[in-house]
Amino acid sequence: MNANIVIVYHSGYGHTSKVAEAVAAGSGGRLLAIDAEGNLPEGGWEVLERASTIIFGSPTYMGNVSWQFKKFADQSSRVWMAQGWKDKLGAAFTNSASVNGDKQTTLYTLFTLAQQHGMLWAGTGLMPSNAKTADRNDINYLSSFAGLATATPSDASVDELVAGDLATARAFGERIAAASRRLA
Ligand SMILES: Cc1cc2nc3c(=O)[nH]c(=O)nc-3n(C[C@H](O)[C@H](O)[C@H](O)COP(=O)(O)O)c2cc1C
């Protein structure tokens, strides 16, 4: 595990957790879950303080981050006061039911959070799979650049995430780990 990379995320029903696990597998990063009340576990803020790279993750609910993630973001204003995350590397992912589903708004919220903190930003760095021959299981089929986007059908269980999305999440994690090494 690479303690320099922390994946801090919320998942209401477990689907975004699966994406977070794939990002962790690719990056070697440590998972840090925001709970159902919007709180971090004991010592969570210190884990983030020590990290050089923070990857933010949230499901898209009503076109934006979940309220639990927003509570975490608002609580991070205490860190902002001391500029504690300035110049750390930031990146983000979101998962939702629809292929579009307004995920871009969620990614922009996560990007804005990172920029308010003065963080550096890394996108997916993944080429799109948008040709006629493209298959749903191709890497970056959703063709997102600003951050990782995955789509889990609304009736899929947590064991039924699209394999290509999980592979894309691993590739995204590898990309963020490589970017993190370049800044070290
Ligand atoms: C309150 C709520 C709002 C949602 N809003 C959206 C949405 O705006 N766009 C979308 O594509 N899916 C939406 N969904 C579907 C979720 O994004 C989707 O089920 C996702 O996989 C849930 O992730 P989770 O299991 O980590 O909570 C919504 C689900 C809930 C519960």
What pLDDT, in 10s, does the model give residues 86-99?
Answer: 999 999 999 999 99
**pLDDT per position as a tens digit, 38-72:** 999 999 999 999 999 999 999 999 999 999 999 99
Q: Which atom in ligand 1 lies closest to the alpha carbon of residue 59?
A: 23
Query: Quick one: average pLDDT of 130-151?
Result: 98
**pLDDT per position as a tens digit, 89-128:** 999 999 999 999 999 999 999 999 999 999 999 999 999 9
Name the residue type at position 49. E
From 60, 67, 69, 107, the mutation candidate for ligand 1 (largest count of ligand atoms within 8 A of CB) is 60
DSSP string, 30-61: EEEEE-TTS-PPTTHHHHHHH-SEEEEEEE-B
Q: What is the pTM assigned to this prediction?
A: 0.98
CATH for 175: 3.40.50.360
Q: Is 141 exposed, middle or buried (0-12, 13-18, 19+ CB in 10 A)?
A: buried
Q: Is 66 in the pocket of ligand 1 (CB under 6 A)?
A: no
The residue whose CA is least distant from atom 10 of ligand 1 is 101
* Cα–Cα nearest to 142, from 122, 163, 156, 128: 128
* Residue 175 confidence (pLDDT) above 90: yes
* Residue 3 confidence (pLDDT) above 90: no
pLDDT band for position 1 (cuts 50, 70, 90):
confident
Residue 66 tokens, joined: 């979940």
pLDDT of residue 2: 73
What is the pLDDT of the chain when averaged over all its residues? 98
174: containing domain = 5-183
136 vs 166: CA distance, rounded Å: 12
105 vs 102: CA distance, rounded Å: 6
Total domains in the chain come to 1
